[in-house]
Structures are given as structure tokens and as C-alpha cells.
Amino acid sequence: MEWVNAVVQGTLLGGLYALFAAGLSLIFGVMRLVNIAHGDLIVLAAYLGLSATTLLGLHPLAALLVVVPAMAIMGYVLQRAILNQTLGKDILPPLLVTFGLSVIIQNTLLEAYSADPQKMNAGALETASFSAGGLSLGVLPVMTFVIAVGVIAGLQWTFYRTALGRAFRATSDNQEIAQLMGLNRRHIFGLAMALALAVTAIAGIMLGIRTSFDPSIGGGRLIFGFEAVIIGGLGNLWGTLVGGVILGVAQTIGAKIDPGWQLLAGHLVFLIILAVRPNGLFPRIGE
């Protein structure tokens, strides 16, 4: 039963990792941009959530109503003002610029909030649990997982059922020809980054309710996000959810064997999958 519990808890943890990964996956899918600052943007969203709860007295979940649009606007401006200038045939400039952005965000957070770990206070939600089939499940992890599934389903629907998604896919396929269709790729990329950072905002808030955070933890969240994306297969959103779950389960099972093995077990599973299936478990066909 303990092992079943580890798998279930790991699956729920995987929901959080899928939230970390979804924005990363979306940005890479639309504009082939690898965003090194993604983890720091998650942490930034957590801090914005913290400020919203302390300054406005909001519940962390209500803070989503402020932080999600704020991050979306920031994403659009960031893309139009900076990241669009780095996109081209050479893949190095976006890597360098987002790396620099990562450093800037970390240091700005240090200045603004200090290096002390912080946590959002979600009251009773943090400890609420219910039992199902002999297992005790936390309401918050279950809620995070459900949100993750909802976010992925929403992104999937946007991508394949809306004009915006059609524009994303067309621009990703061929930027010049998309331009001929009257689509301004700079604007489309701005919208993609806005959507990605809206998802990142959700990830940051759920992270900030679940655990304490400080300005330096962005790198670790980036790695988890990357691993989930790669395990699931690039460009496949449902694969990203599965990747997050595999990573989460590997970590909780590792921790069950020995608490020191939690992170290592996750990385090992990632390495094994990378060695056996370099394109991930569910790569999009034809890529």
C-alpha cells in the first residue's frame, strides 16, 4: 500500500511538473525558442502571488486573477521588445539572452524580497485531505493535478480548434508564408509568449502554495520542466503531462527507497528514457 501511495502522490506531483513544462513546450513548439529563464519566471510569478496576497489580502487562488493577466502582459511585452530581436537562423542568441534574463530576474527578486524563503498562506487548503481507497490524498495536490489536466486540455483545444492555434501552427511551420497570410509573426510570437506566461503564472502560484520558495530555485524548476517535456516528446502537450507524471512518480519512489534519492531517481529515469527513446515517448509524427 505504501508503494501504491508513492505512485499516487508522485502522479499528483507530476501535475505540478506538467504545469512547469507546458509553457516551455508551447514556446518551443511555436517559435523554437528555448527559454532558459522559464524557471525564474515561475518563481517571479510565485513572488507576484505573494505580493498580491500580502498587499491586497487575497487568497493565493484569488491572486491568480491578478497574476495570470500580469504575467501574460509581461510575456507579450518581453517577446515584442526583446526576444523577437533574437530569433533567426542562429539558435545561440535566444539562449544567451534568456540566460541573461534569468540572471536579471534572480537578482531583482533578491533585491526586492531578500534571500529568505517565503511561502504563500492558503489557510486550511494547505493541510486539507480526504481519503480514497485507503489512501489519504491532499486536496491541494489533487487540485494542482486537475488544474494541470485542465490547462493542457485548454492549450490543446486552443492549438487545434481556434484561429489563434491555427495561426500558431502555421507560423511555426513557415514564418514567411504565414506572413503572406496577413499574420504578423512578431505579434503571433508575442501572443504565444503571453499564453505561455499565463500558464507559468498558474505554475508559480501552485508552487508557492505547495512549498516555500526563494529567488534561487528557478534553475531546478527549469530542469524539471525540461525533463517533463523531453520525456513526453517535443511538441506533444499530452506527452508533456505524461512526462511530468513519470518524473513525479520516479521522484517519490526514489524518495521511498531513500530520502536522498528523490532528485537523483528523477534524473536517472530521464537519462534512461533519453538513451532508449531520444525523441521522447510520444514525439509528434514527422518531426
Partner 1 sequence: MPDPILRISGLDAFYGDFQALYDVALEAGEGEVLAIIGANGAGKTTLMRSISGLTQNKAAMVRYRGENIGALRADEVAAKGIALVPEGRQLFPSLSVEENLIIGGQVGRKGPWSLNAVYKLFPILQERRHQQSTSLSGGQQQMVAIGRALMANPDLILFDEISLGLAPIIIKDIYAALPGIINEGMSALIVEQDITKALSVSSRFYCLQEGRVSLEGASATVAREDISRAYFGVA
- Which residues contact partner 1 by CB under 8 A? 163, 166-167, 169-170, 172-174, 176-184, 286
- Quote the CA–CA distance of 39 and 204 in Å, as a whole number: 9
Q: Which is nearer to partner 1, 121 or 184 (CB)?
A: 184
Q: Which is nearer to partner 1, 145 or 282 (CB)?
A: 282
**Cell (9 digits) for 87:** 530569433
Q: Which is nearer to partner 1, 138 or 165 (CB)?
A: 165
CB of 277 to partner 1, least distance (A): 22
For residue 10, what are the contacts with CB-CB under 8 A and spacing of at least 6?
245, 248, 249, 250, 251, 252, 253
CA distances from 4 to 134, 143, 175, 243 (A): 10, 19, 48, 19
CA distances from 286 to 24, 83, 203, 275 (A): 21, 28, 30, 20
| Secondary element (H or E) of residue 61 | helix 60-78
**From start to end of the chain, where are the E strands?**
129-132, 135-138
Q: Which is nearer to partner 1, 122 or 188 (CB)?
A: 188
Whole-angstrom Cα Rg for the chain: 19
Q: Which is nearer to partner 1, 169 or 277 (CB)?
A: 169
Q: Which is nearer to partner 1, 133 or 286 (CB)?
A: 286
CB of 271 to partner 1, least distance (A): 30
Q: How long a stretch of residues is the chain?
A: 287
Contacts for 167-172: CB closer than 8 Å, 24+ residues apart: 168/29, 168/30, 168/192, 171/30, 171/31, 172/29, 172/30, 172/31, 172/32
CB of 195 to partner 1, least distance (A): 17
CB of 235 to partner 1, least distance (A): 9
CB of 80 to partner 1, least distance (A): 14
Q: Which is nearer to partner 1, 59 or 166 (CB)?
A: 166
DSSP secondary structure string, 168-209?
HHHHHH-HHHHHHTT--HHHHHHHHHHHHHHHHHHHHHHHHH
Q: Which is nearer to partner 1, 159 or 224 (CB)?
A: 159
CB of 166 to partner 1, least distance (A): 6
Contact 38, 222 (CB under 8 A): yes
CB of 26 to partner 1, least distance (A): 14
CB of 286 to partner 1, least distance (A): 7
